[in-house]
Structure 1
Amino acid sequence: MEKLKEETKIKAFLSRIKTEWPGIVERFEFKTKSVIYVHLKEGVSSMDFLGKLSRQVERFVDFTMPIILYHIESDGMNLRSHPINWYSSIAQRNSQ
């Protein structure tokens, strides 16, 4: 049940990103439950997305499951990773 809540929260998180920045994100593609490709619109740099929006994106996080967003430019040439909750989950595992 908790896992389902987390997955719902992650989908809401992604929807909020797309709504907040409609000119940035083309679509999301789930590779696994924890690996999500963020396809950026034409002309949007993955470096810009990561640099300018990463802190703003992270304030939308209301789930604990670690995920990795991979930002992919429209030409498919550049790919950058953006871990979310990844380091906090490692700290939690080490404290157990």
Structure 2
Amino acid sequence: AHSAKGPRIVCVGHATIDTVLHVPAVPAPPSKVMAKACVQTAGGMATNAASAAARLGAHVTLLSRIGDDAAGALYLSELQREPSLDVSPVQTIAGARTSVSSIL
């Protein structure tokens, strides 16, 4: 149970794993560039808002859907580490794939 301190917020939206590629500059087509680093993190607009609000002290519930794949497992495991973020309503859909985006 959450304490009475801090606002209660519900965020609803699309679940995504963001693959963030760190590059020195955005390449001009049709060139290629090697990423200096690659980080995968739980993302999507509702997820990012929920995570930020939880870190600012709000008690947040996130409603979304993920696939029963490695990306979905990563999504849940990352968000379950945030103590003020309730991801218990996130639904895992059998046979579905979690969305993945690439960000330069």
With structure 2 as the length reference, what TM-score do the two structures score?
Answer: 0.29
Higher RCO (CA 8 Å, separation ≥ 6 residues)? 2
More strand per residue: 2
More helix per residue: 1
- Structure showing greater Rg: 2
